[in-house]
Amino acid sequence: MREIAIRDALKEAMAEEMLRDERVFLMGEEVGAYNGAYKCSKGLLEKFGPKRVIDTPICENGFAGVGIGAAMAGLRPIVEFMTFNFSLIAIDQIINTAAKARLMSAGQLKCPIVFRGAGGAAFQLAAQHANSFEQFYAYTPGLIVVAPATAYDMKGLLKSSIRNDNPVVFFESELTYNKKGEVPEEEYLVPIGVADVKRQGSDITLISWSKNVFLTLEVAEGLVAEGYNPEVIDLRTLRPLDTETVLRSVAKTHRVLIIQEQHEIASYGAWLHHLICTKIWDELDAPVGLVSALEAPLPYAKSLETVILPSRDRCLAAAREVLLGAR
């Protein structure tokens, strides 16, 4: 094992798959000559050339459509959005074309394409550049939605996503590209649709995904200091969801707190809340807890940003409420 940054884990995943399969190529804004907006594609243009690492105009709807057409024609594109905030320009291509291609062609068309890029808030990017859109895509049948946290999972799941014959929406985070983690020297894959129990526990299940897994682990440490034994689940994949792991954990601890960066209304966390309450209601000893971003566009001011987004203190307070509450 060696320790590398998440951006390098992503670069390795793309490079390995491009070497393995000549049908794989990368396209997006600044992925080539600039080495990627976050340097996730550094050196790939020199290694693979401009036919396989393609700089596009600032035209998400256009290059997403080109990628979908290439996938239907037998190639395996990786389409990078500089940020998933900009994917709204291409949302019709992703949801109405890529997601529905196999169904509407009666299985005659495959669409092996990966849409990847940074999602969620970063440092003071303000309202138009700080949205968490996982639920938009997880809502849509026909799409696979992946939201890993660690360098190990980023690399292994991106490789699995590139090899999948269905369209995959792959969420990363601007705030964690520099974060390092252990990654094997040898090739490996992480299976899509399998959650990871980051910490075994018995008193409460803490559930999260993407960069908020790191916040959730901090919350777990705080609970341990207070004498509790929390279990932490990193979903890794939102669609398909590893329902079995989630329900098994909640049935063991009998209490659950979901931590997400999305707004609560119509969110993925709200869906998880519904799922847990309808599937294993009798196992719950307290109402399901949910910590979300507050219901306001994210402001630029740092002092307000920290209020809107989930924080360690707000999550700890919510966890205590679940632990001390009764149904």
Catalytic residue numbers, as ranges: 60, 129
**Cβ contact 112:102 at 8 Å:** no
CA separation for the pair 119, 130 (Å, rounded): 7
CA separation for the pair 111, 122 (Å, rounded): 31
Of the candidates 236, 297, 312, 232, which has an alpha carbon nearest to the alpha carbon of residue 263? 297
- Does the bond joining 191 to the residue before it have cis omega, within 30 degrees of 0? no
**Cβ contact 256:276 at 8 Å:** yes
CA separation for the pair 38, 246 (Å, rounded): 33
Q: Calculate ∠ Cα 257-260-263, nearest 5°.
A: 115
Q: 30: Cβ–Cβ under 8 A, 6 or more apart, which residues?
A: 36, 37, 55, 82
- Which residues, in sequence order, are bridge partners of residue 154? none
142 in the Ramachandran plot: left (φ > 0), alpha (ψ -120 to 50) or beta?
left
